């Protein structure tokens, strides 16, 4: 079985697994990183959203064989360390606004928000918000928008 090496939340990890296993299952089942959630496995719900080299992506749709040794994967667990704090400003905003209901979609929502604010270089427009595809079955969308605005102002 091939060995795959990459950087996960700032630390190099190696795992023996077939090339075609999707990264989400490598993270959750083999490496015990459960922040990225499994919703659809089809790059639709976005519950698994994490970052690769600072950009948002969905590990349910990426075979581990496509991941390079130099790739830096960040999950919600590693997000605070990217700013050297106990919580990322976007997480602080999420708590301020009390966004979560059941919570299942929320790691993915936060990781999408951080990647999008970084990509846009600041505050998001209504069109940016409308383009977010993360599903929340509890319907917390209004609070998500409020928290992203607050988090973006503090990033």
Binding site for ligand FES (CB under 6 A): 38-41, 43-48, 58, 60, 100-106, 136-138, 140
Nearer CB in complex with ligand FES: 39/151: 39
Q: What's the CA angle centered on 114, arms 83 and 142, to 5 degrees?
A: 130
CB of 145 to ligand FES, least distance (A): 13
CB of 21 to ligand FES, least distance (A): 14
- Sort strands 55-57 and 72-74 into parallel, antiparallel or unpaired: unpaired
CB of 74 to ligand FES, least distance (A): 16
Sheet holding 50-52, edge to edge: 11-16, 3-8, 72-74, 50-52, 55-57
Nearer CB in complex with ligand FES: 6/104: 104
What is the full DSSP assignment across 54-117?
TEEE-GGGSBGGG--TT-EEE-GGGTGGGTTSSS-HHHHHHHHHT--SS-TTHHHHHHHHHHHH
Nearer CB in complex with ligand FES: 45/117: 45
CB of 10 to ligand FES, least distance (A): 23
Residue 22 DSSP symbol: B
Nearer CB in complex with ligand FES: 84/139: 139
Nearer CB in complex with ligand FES: 34/83: 34
Report how far residue 74's alpha carbon sits from residue 135's, in angstroms, rounded to the nearest whole number: 21
CB of 84 to ligand FES, least distance (A): 28
């Amino acid at each position: 079985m091939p060995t795959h090496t990459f950087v996960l939340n700032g630390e190099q990890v190696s795992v023996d697994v077939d090339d075609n296993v999707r990264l989400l299952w490598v993270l959750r089942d083999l490496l015990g990183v459960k922040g990225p959630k499994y919703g659809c496995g089809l790059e639709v719900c976005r519950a698994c959203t994490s970052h690769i080299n600072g950009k948002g992506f969905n590990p349910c749709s990426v075979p581990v064989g496509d991941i390079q040794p130099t790739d830096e994967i960040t999950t919600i667990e590693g997000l605070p360390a990217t700013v050297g704090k106990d919580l990322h400003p976007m997480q602080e905003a999420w708590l301020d606004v009390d966004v979560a209901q059941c919570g299942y979609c929320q790691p993915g929502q936060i990781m999408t928000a951080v990647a999008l604010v970084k990509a846009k270089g600041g505050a998001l427009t209504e069109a940016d918000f409308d383009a977010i595809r993360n599903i929340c079955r509890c319907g917390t969308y209004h609070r998500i928008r409020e928290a992203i605005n607050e988090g973006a102002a503090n990033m």
